[in-house]
């Protein structure tokens, strides 16, 4: 995993990390955290990152910038071409230019292949650890317990230093790559410097609680060093004084407010965006805060002000429809959601919401439209479990149990429930024409599920450590 934020290790943590280097794994925290899907936010992130992705020599069609519900100030890449942004980072950022600086840095990790190459750093550190363990064990066996433990401890420290130095080198490389992308895209590096200064302030807070160090026991170079070096690089760039388009900054303010209303405690949101603030971002934040607090009328009042101000904004219409739908007014939700789908050229997340509203009316006449918009949604974005669930409801309603099973198999496969994905895929195979694309898709899901379950069984058979067997379809612990 490569990220922008600073990780610091206390003395006990350093010792523990040294012991674990031989078993180190690069994990994807996104698997255990809530991914926030929002049409407006994803469109914005795609737009501000597109010139940087091209500057990195990557394809915008292959790179994703996605949001995780996590209050910490962090961004990372963890395999593939996905940049994960924590919600806390957007909250901490002051403007879109700062966010672009973060994305540019993370793209540097992707272009540099740092996830793949991290194995080199782990391998080198592991070699030192294993050698020290062998030498220490030999010394202990020869009667020198104290000397043996000293050898092991020194080996752990050396291994930790080797790995952290490797990590800091990659971070510095990503810093310079990010600067290159910003230059090529004609985007100022002022935001990058400003955000590093935020990290610098966090370092000062840590130093008040822990002993100061010179950067040795961190996975990243100290922000002071990064700021000094990068300021010199950026100030020489012709783009240093380039301005971010005001429209982008206005959209960033909207998204930041929207995120506050969605993830923060409503009371906090209402303090940050009080009633005296009549700006569009404030209405946006309060609409989500009131909706989250189960005050639909107040939420709809705020949404109505947004729609009145910008009648053809698809995301304000989406909000209005969502509040209506989730407060039991499915019929009223359909017109604004239809218009939002039209204005966004059938954006999948919004189309799924429209499909949900059509089904929620429980009117037979609406099911044909629901099927049409939901099929269009999953054709553009297959990784939406809720869209597959809704499509399964449509198929079940018209008596097509085989395709209802296929939609359910798709949903369970995305949710990681392998046994139920297999069970439903097999049910679909039993009822779908073998010559159809749906049959092939059911077959693919079934084959993948069987493979995962076979691998899990083999893993349990090889487990000689006395651990309990994992449940069917789950890896051993």
Residues 179-220 pLDDT 10s: 999 999 999 999 988 888 887 777 665 555 554 444 434 444
Q: What is the DSSP letter of 10?
A: -
For residue 225, name the pLDDT band (cuts at 50, 70, 90).
confident
Q: Answer with the residue of higher pLDDT: 27 or 290.
A: 290
Tell me what pLDDT residue 476 has.
Answer: 30
- Residue 12: band (very low, low, confident or very high) from pLDDT cuts 50, 70, 90: very low
More confident residue, 138 or 20: 138
Instruction: Please check the confidence at residue 159 and state whether its pLDDT lies above 70.
Output: no
233 with 179: CB under 8 angstroms?
yes
Residues 331, 394, single domain; the answer is yes
Residue 472, domain member (yes or no): no
- Pairing type for strands 82-86 and 64-68 reads parallel
Measured CA to CA in angstroms, residue 49 lies from 57, 195, 294 at distances of: 13, 17, 35
What is the tens place of the pLDDT at every residue in 325-363? 999 999 999 999 999 999 999 999 999 999 999 999 999
Contacts of 266 (CB under 8 A, 6+ apart): 289, 290, 292, 293
Q: How far apart are CA 194 and CA 227, in angstroms?
A: 9
Q: How confident is the model at residue 223 (pLDDT cuts 50, 70, 90)?
A: low
449 pLDDT higher than 90: yes
Q: How big is the CA angle at 119 (ends 115 and 120), to the nearest 5 degrees?
A: 115
Q: What is the pLDDT of residue 112?
A: 62
Same domain, 207 and 295: no
Task: Please indicate, yes or no, if residue 245 is contained in any of the structural domains.
Answer: no
Q: Are residues 166 and 289 in the same domain?
A: no
127 membership: H or E segment, kind and range: helix 114-141
pLDDT band at 17, cuts 50/70/90?
A: very low
Same structural domain, 216 and 269: no
Render pLDDT for 256-311 as a digit per residue (tens, 0 to 9): 999 999 999 999 999 999 999 999 999 999 999 999 999 999 999 999 999 999 99
Confidence bin at 143 (pLDDT 50/70/90): low
Instruction: Identify the sign of the CA torsion 400, 401, 407, 410.
Output: negative
255-258-263 Cα angle (round to 5): 120
Q: Which of 327, 324, 295 is nearest to 307 (CA)?
A: 324
**Cα–Cα distance list, 274 to 95, 146, 279, 286 (Å):** 21, 64, 10, 8
pLDDT of 119 above 70: no
Structure tokens at 397: 């309603």
Q: Do both 77 and 215 map to the same domain?
A: yes
What pLDDT, on the 0 to 100 scale, is given for residue 333? 98
d(CA 239, CA 431): 61
Asked if the model's pLDDT at residue 153 lies above 60, the reply is: no
From CA 244, how far away is CA 228, in angstroms rounded? 23
CB 192 within 8 A of CB 104: yes
CATH number at residue 445: 1.25.40.10
Q: Work out the pLDDT band at 113, boundaries 50, 70, 90.
A: low
Distance (Å, whole) CA 453 – CA 475: 9
Question: Is 251 contained in some domain?
Answer: no
Q: For residue 294, is it within any domain?
A: yes
Q: Please, which residues have CB within 8 angstroms of residue 443's CB and are 6 or more apart in sequence?
A: 425, 429
**Same domain membership, residue 355 and residue 451:** yes
User: Are residues 221 and 275 both part of a single domain?
Assistant: no
**For residues 11-40, average pLDDT:** 50
The secondary structure of residue 30, as a DSSP letter, is: G
Q: Is residue 225 part of a domain?
A: yes
| Span 304-331, pLDDT tens digits | 999 999 999 999 999 999 999 999 999 9
Confidence at residue 463, expressed as pLDDT on a 0 to 100 scale? 54
Query: 456: helix, coil or strand?
Result: helix
For residues 386, 392, 397, 400, the Cα torsion angle rounded to the nearest 10 degrees is 170
Q: 150 and 294 share a domain?
A: no
Indicate if 68 and 172 belong to the same structural domain.
Answer: yes
Q: Which residue has the higher pLDDT, 239 or 157?
A: 239
Pick the range with the lowest mean pLDDT from 24-38, 51-65, 155-169, 186-200: 155-169
Yes or no: say if 349 and 381 are a contact pair by the CB < 8 Å rule.
yes
Answer with the residue of higher pLDDT: 313 or 62: 313
Q: Specify the pLDDT at position 126.
A: 44
Query: In terms of domains, do 287 and 431 share one?
Result: yes
- Structural element, H or E, at residue 197: helix 190-209
Average pLDDT, the chain: 80
Q: Is the domain of 211 the same as that of 326?
A: no
Range of the domain at 225: 2-185+190-235
State the total domains in the chain: 2
Under the banding of pLDDT at 50, 70 and 90, the label for residue 72 is confident
**How far apart are alpha carbons 288 and 296 in whole angstroms?**
10
pLDDT at residue 31 above 50?
A: no
Q: Could you tell me if residue 206 is inside a domain?
A: yes
374 and 425 co-located in one domain: yes
Q: How far apart are CA 123 and CA 116, in angstroms?
A: 12
In a domain, 248, yes or no: no
Does any domain span residue 258?
Answer: no
């Amino acid at each position: 995993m490569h990220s922008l934020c600073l990780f610091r290790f206390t003395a006990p943590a350093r010792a523990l990390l040294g012991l674990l280097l031989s078993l180190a794994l690069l994990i994807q925290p996104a698997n255990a955290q809530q991914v926030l899907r929002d049409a407006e936010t994803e469109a914005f992130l795609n737009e501000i990152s597109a010139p940087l992705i091209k500057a990195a020599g990557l394809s915008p069609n292959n790179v994703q910038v996605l949001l995780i519900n996590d209050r910490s100030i962090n961004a990372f890449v963890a395999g593939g071409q996905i940049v994960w942004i924590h919600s806390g980072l957007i909250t901490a950022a002051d403007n879109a230019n700062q966010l672009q600086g973060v994305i540019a840095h993370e793209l540097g990790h992707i272009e540099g292949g740092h996830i793949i190459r991290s194995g080199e750093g782990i391998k080198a550190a592991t070699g030192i650890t294993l050698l020290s363990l062998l030498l220490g064990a030999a010394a202990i066996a020869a009667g020198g317990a104290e000397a043996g433990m000293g050898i092991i401890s020194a080996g752990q420290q050396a291994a930790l230093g080797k790995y952290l130095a490797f990590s800091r080198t990659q971070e510095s490389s990503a810093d310079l790559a990010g600067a290159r992308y910003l230059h090529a895209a004609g985007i100022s590096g002022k935001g990058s410097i400003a955000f590093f200064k935020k990290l610098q302030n966090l370092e000062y807070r840590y130093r008040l609680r822990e002993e100061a160090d010179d950067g040795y026991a961190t996975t990243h170079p100290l922000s002071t060093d990064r700021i000094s070096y990068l300021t010199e690089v950026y100030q020489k760039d012709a783009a240093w004084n380039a301005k971010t388009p005001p429209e982008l900054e206005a959209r960033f303010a909207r998204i930041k407010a929207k995120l506050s209303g969605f993830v923060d405690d409503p009371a906090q949101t209402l303090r940050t965006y009080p009633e005296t603030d009549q700006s569009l971002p404030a209405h946006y934040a309060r609409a989500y805060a009131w909706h989250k607090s189960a005050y639909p009328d107040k939420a709809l009042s705020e949404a109505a002000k947004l729609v009145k101000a910008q009648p053809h904004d698809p995301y304000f219409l989406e909000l209005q429809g969502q509040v209506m739908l989730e407060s039991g007014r499915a019929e009223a939700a359909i017109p604004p959601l239809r218009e939002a789908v039209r204005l966004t050229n059938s954006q999948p997340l919004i189309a799924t919401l429209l499909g949900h509203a059509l089904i929620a009316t429980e009117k037979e006449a609406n099911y044909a439209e629901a099927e049409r918009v939901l099929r269009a949604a999953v054709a553009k974005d297959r990784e939406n479990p809720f869209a597959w669930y809704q499509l399964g409801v449509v198929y079940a309603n018209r008596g097509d149990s085989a395709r209802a099973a296929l939609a359910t198999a798709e949903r369970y496969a995305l949710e990681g429930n392998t046994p139920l994905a297999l069970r439903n895929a097999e049910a679909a195979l039993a009822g779908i024409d073998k010559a159809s694309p749906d049959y092939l898709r059911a077959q693919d899901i079934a084959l993948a599920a069987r493979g995962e379950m076979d691998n899990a069984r083999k893993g349990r058979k090889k487990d000689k450590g006395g651990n309990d067997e994992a449940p069917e379809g789950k890896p051993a612990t």
